[in-house]
Amino acid sequence: MKEEPAHLRAKYDEEICELFLAHAARLENHLVRLGASRTLAEHVVQDSFLATRLRWVHVRGLDRPRAYLYRVAENRTRKLLGREGGRCVPHPDPHELTSRPEPARRVASPELRLVLDEAIGRLPAREGAAARMFYLADRSVSQVASRMGISKGTVTKYLESARARLRRDLGEDFTYWMEGEQ
């Protein structure tokens, strides 16, 4: 492999960073749909970006460098999971595929956490219970459904309704909390 010119190294690093920011979360969700656990998908995404960066001199000239990145990630995932009939296994529950923030890690500020907790307290009882477990206790949809004794679809509806109410109630604070610090 050819050594890249030193004066282009920073430019290439910046291009990879932009690609990472634009596609890492989507690529992770794609790998989860292929059957990878969330943790495995995170590792494969990191490795795939590093592998793509090593070949960036060549990859950046392709018509679709993003497609190359996805192919690298898919191949690494399939290799790690093994194949069965040409498809990765197992296929996860679609309720677990939704891209959601990592609330326990995102709500680091005690003040913001208190504001969110108070706003959740103003929600209808069932919505509030689901939102508190999902966002503040970092439980999955399946875990919330099991604890509440309801279906995952009902939990999803409660969470969608809770998000809409929280967005109206908290405005910019809610956007900050959902998107994390920029």
Q: Cis peptide before 90, with omega less than 30 degrees from 0?
A: yes
Q: Which one, of 144, 139, 167, 147, lies nearest residue 155 by Cα?
A: 144
1, part of any domain = no
Q: In whole angstroms, what is the distance from residue 62 CA to residue 119 CA? A: 49
Contact 17, 72 (CB under 8 A): no
- 62-76: pLDDT as tens digits: 888 888 898 899 888
Whether the model clears a pTM of 0.75, i.e. scores above it, the answer is no
Structure tokens at 99: 């891209």
CATH number at residue 143: 1.10.10.10
87, part of any domain = no
pLDDT-based confidence at residue 179 (cuts at 50, 70, 90): low
Residues 100 and 167 in one domain: yes
Range of the domain at 41: 6-81
- Indicate the SS3 state at residue 88: coil
Residues 45 and 106 in one domain: no
Residues 75 and 115 in one domain: no
Which residue among 28, 46, 81 closes a domain? 81
- 40-60: pLDDT as tens digits: 889 999 999 889 988 888 888
List Cβ neighbours of 107 (8 Å cut-off, separation of 6 or more).
113, 116, 135, 136, 177
89, part of any domain = no
86, part of any domain = no
Q: In whole angstroms, what is the distance from residue 166 CA to residue 131 CA? A: 10
Residues 58 and 113 in one domain: no
Length of the chain equals: 182
Residues 69 and 20 in one domain: yes
Domain count, the chain: 2
